[in-house]
Structures are given as structure tokens and as C-alpha cells.
Structure 1
Amino acid sequence: MLSQRVQLLKKLLPGFIPLFVFIAVDEIWGTKAGLMAALAIGSVELVWIGIREKRFDRFVLFDTILLLVLGGVSIVLDNDIFFKMKPALIELILCAILAVSAFSRLNIVGLMSKRYLKDMVIDDGQMNRMRASLRLMFVIFSGHTLLVFYAAFYLSSEAWAFISGGLFYILFGVVFGIEFLRHRKSQSKVQIALDEEEMLPLVNEEGQVVGKAPRSACHNGQKLLHPVVHLHVLNRQGAIYLQKRPMNKLVQPGKWDTAVGGHVAFGEDVHLSLKREAWEEIGLKDFSAKLAKQYVWESALERELVFVFITHDFKGIQLHSEEVEEGRFWTRNQIVKNMGKGIFTPNFEHECHLLFNLNDH
């Protein structure tokens, strides 16, 4: 996010160049020469941006025209107060944009970012952090705007030149310094969380381990293929034991699901993972299971290589985990009647067809 704001500033910076040129030339050759130089630079910028980037930069045009209007009025009336007010008026517009972006649903700065940085994608978390930064900028630059107005009326030209020019960029540096420190602190917290987070193996579609990644990275839409185990528990009549997921689960809360399902930890083989998950979820141990199938399951958030096991050893089941709200056997007819009604997880509905086929044969 910090680098994105730096890129945005680089895109907007050309709009301020006519003002820089005017201040430099005005100090040496006077206001008229400064205005002519600003007009020439602004025109060259417009042509250059048009040829190189194939776009018309309204910000450069606006800054150049406002500079000429206020400077021209100052010359005609022989009073430089109008020109001195120009930086404050521009900054007042900036503060208005910051206020709307920071305190309303319309984030103008965010929209400008997407326009100038077409490859940038801003998620909700980044947008919230951007709004926090915009609130800080609004407070700082509102104070600076009032100071520029005060300097225009009551301070010397030298003091006004520093306050409206140099001080403005010093404050910009302060804002980006604060943002840099915030960014570093945030990155440190993320790194600490990643260091403490469970690591999952990354596999190819044959199940061979090709790397590892934090659990969160496997569930954030990157679609990193990682292995999971599912255990279906059947009785002699072919009924299937299902567990009900608690309502506090982020994924498929309150729905009936496979008896046992969980991730294979990094460095753990599939069979060891199956025994661990069976004990953790339904208190089942000392059972024998057969691998029925392995397949790739993909959802909006993740991509899993699922190892499907089946067991008929159900007598040792004892629910003892907060991860499971309830468990019971469902007959084939009960399952069929409730399919597609949002009672079962999509993953179980996919696998139950496999179970039915196995029972039929």
C-alpha cells in the first residue's frame, strides 16, 4: 500500500511543476517572467504527457490556468495577495477531496489511484488502511492551509514562500514517514503471525510434496493445492455417520459434513493425519480404513487434494471436541431427500455419490 501511494504521488507530481518553476523564476526575474515560464512549462508538459502516455492530464492544465488567473489578477490590481492565496486555494481543494475520501463512502483518492495506476488492485483491508491515512493527511494539510492563508496576509513574502512551498513538502515527508513506520510495524506483525502459523504442504495432483505455505495462504484465494483427508464412517446397513459443523465456523457453518475432515500437516503422511483427525474430531481410534479415491476439489477460496477413506469401525465414536456440534447416522433415503437444500456441505454432497456407487457394487 505504501509503494502504491508513492506511485500515485509520482503520477500527480507533474501538476505541481508549473508552480515550482514560477517560484524559481519569480525570485530572479519577477512575476511576469514567472508566469510566462509557468505557462511554457505547463504547455510542454501537456504535450509531452499526451505523446508519451496517450492521455490528457487535466491536473496539469488546472494548475497552470489557476496560476495564470491568480497571477494575472495580482499584476492587474498591483496586489500580490491574490497570487499568494493560490497555494492555499489548491490545498483547500485537496483538503476537500481528502475529507470526502476519508469520511464518506465515496473514496475519490481510491478512484484516482485506480485510474492512474491501472494495474493496482485494492482490497477491503487496503481500502480501510487508506482511509486511515487520508484522515491523518486531512488533519495535517487542513492546518497547513490555514497557515498559508495567514502567511499570505500577515507574514513576509519570504515566510509565505517557505510555508506555501518548502513546508508543504516537509509535511508530505512527515506523512510518508509516519506511513512508512506504520507499514513496517504492520509487516512485522504479519511476519510474526506467519512464523507462528501452521504450515501446510503444497502438492501436485499426484500427491507429491512440492513446497509448503502458511494455512492462511492456502485459504485466501491463491488456490495453492494442499492435501486433506476425509473419513466416511458407515455401519453394516450402509448408513453414513455425519458431523454437524458449529455455527461459529467461517466455512459452511451449521451444515452436516463428512464424519472426519482435516488438513495434512507439513511433514505428516496421509495415514498419520487421518488417525489424528479422527481422534480430534469424533474420538475414534484403533480403526482400519481403506482409501477409496483421491481427487481435486476447488472452491472460491481454496484448492484441495482430497484423500477419501472409508471405515466400518464406528463403535469407538465419542464426541469430545468443540469443533463438532453433533453427530449421527443418516440413511441413504434421508440423505437423498435433503440433497440440494443447504443442509449438507457441497463437498459432502459431491462425495456421497461416490459412497452410493461403492455400496451399489
Structure 2
Amino acid sequence: MLYSLARRVDNIPVLNEKGEVIDKKYSFEAYYYKNRYLNPVIRIAVISNGMMFLCRRPEKFNYNPGKIDLPMETYLQYEEKPEDGVKRILRKYFPENEELDPRFSIKYRFKNEETNRLIYLYILYVEDDSQLCNPRFQDGKLWTIQQIESNLNKGYFGDCFEDEYEQLKDAVLFSEEFK
């Protein structure tokens, strides 16, 4: 029993200001140390038919619970490459579809009173939005640019999403231009 419990606890890397791994912590500790350490996080945006797919963050999340945000996010695990973390999260949300191929968009730092993250943002372009009808996505729906912009800066969306919005908006517009 102890062995199975230990397998469910992930180690996440602690980074220095240059993004180099200097230590590791248990993932559940992030809540207690808040923004004291820099941790890598993978976020995957989904774009389909000129819209962004957004979901409600689960209430169990330590950061921004209940806010509308990108559908997929995870800590990068200790000694895991970002590409492997992306594959891991895709297996969790789309176990039946191994052909999905998110594209790296940007790496940036996000820090506030509650968290300190080095974010790897990926974008997944999905033509068939029926695969988004997935019980793993809480209250998920496609949002137009206009719907998002009318709700920005009102405390409705997650903090990271609000920071990423302009980058993601460009990706939506780009996807429509070359459709």
C-alpha cells in the first residue's frame, strides 16, 4: 500500500532565475511555498475553427480554482523534458488519439503573490471539435475572440490566460488566415 501511494506523488523541479534545475520538491508542497520557488509548468491551448477552447479550472487546483482557463496544464516532472510532459498530458486527456501534435509557442515567467512559474505554452490546433466533448474538460466550450475580450480583466479568467491572451489571439487569427 505504501508503495502505491508513493507512486502517486510527483517530484517537480525547482529552477533558478536562469531556468536551471537546482532542486526538487513534491508537487503537493507547491501550495505551501507559493511563489518562493520557480517551477516549470506546461500549458496547452486548444484552437478550433477560429475559436479558443476554454474550461473551468477544477476546484481542487491550488491556483485560480474555478476560473476559466486553458484546458490542459501540468507541472513538468523532475528530469522530464517539456516534450515528454506534453505527451503525458495528451495521454491523460486524449488517450485514444496519439496523432495530436501541439506546437510550442512561447516560454515565459509568470510570478505573483501566489505562484512563480516558468511556463511552456503550447498550441494544439484541432479541426474536429467533437473530440473536445470530453468529460475531463469541466464546463469546456469554444469561445470567440469577441466573447473573450468582453470578459477580460473582470476576474473571470485565470491569471496566466490573461497574460497569454494576446499571443493566443494572434494564433487564432493566424489559424483562420491560413485555413
- In the alignment, what sits opposite 1:267? 79
More strand by share: 2
Q: 2:35 & 2:57 partners in 1: Cα distance?
A: 25
- Give the gaps of 5 or more residues in structure 2: 175-179
- Of 293, 297, 304, the match for 2:117: 304
Aligned residue number for residue 234 of structure 1: 47
* Structure index of larger Rg: 1
TM-score of the superposition, structure 1-length normalised?
Answer: 0.41
Alpha carbons of 1:356 and 1:222: their partners in 2 closer, same or farther (altered >3 Å)? Answer: closer
Three-state SS of the structure 1 residue aligned to 2:169 is helix
CA contact (8 A) 2:59 2:66 kept: yes
What does residue 341 of structure 1 align with? Answer: 154
Query: Would you say 1:319 and 2:131 are equivalent positions?
Result: no
The 5 A counterparts of 1:115-134 are none
Equivalences, count: 166
Scaled by the length of structure 2, the TM-score of the pair is 0.78
Q: Do structure 1's residue 214 and structure 2's residue 29 form an aligned pair?
A: no
Check 1:300–1:350 CA distance in 2 against 1; reply closer, same or farther (3 A cut): same
Match of 2:165 in 1: 352
Pairwise CA distance, 1:215: 1.9
Partner SS, residue 311 of structure 1: strand
Larger relative helix fraction:
1
How far residue 253 of structure 1 moved from its aligned partner, in angstroms, is: 2.5
Q: How far does residue 255 in structure 1 lie from its aligned partner after superposition?
A: 1.6
Deviation at 1:242, TM superposition (A): 0.7
Which structure has more relative contact order (CA 8 Å, sep 6+)? It is 2
SS of aligned partner of 2:140: strand
Structure 1 spans left out of the alignment, 5+ residues: 1-192
Q: Which amino acid aligns with 1:327?
A: G
- Quote the Cα distance in structure 2 between the aligned partners of 1:200 and 1:303: 13
Shift in Å at residue 281 of structure 1?
4.0
Deviation at 1:263, TM superposition (A): 0.6
Alignment of 1:80-91 (within 5 A): none
For residues 157 and 173 of structure 2, the distance between their equivalents in structure 1, rounded to whole angstroms, comes to 22
Counterpart contact for 1:259–1:282, Cα < 8 Å: no
Say if 1:282 and 1:327 are closer, same or farther in 2 by CA, change over 3 A: farther
- Cα deviation, residue 358, structure 1: 4.0
Q: Percent of aligned positions with the same letter in both sequences? A: 22
Which residue number corresponds to residue 101 of structure 2? 288
Question: 2 CA distance for matches of 1:309 and 1:340?
Answer: 23
CA distance in 1, matches of 2:58, 2:41: 20
- Corresponding position of 1:95: none
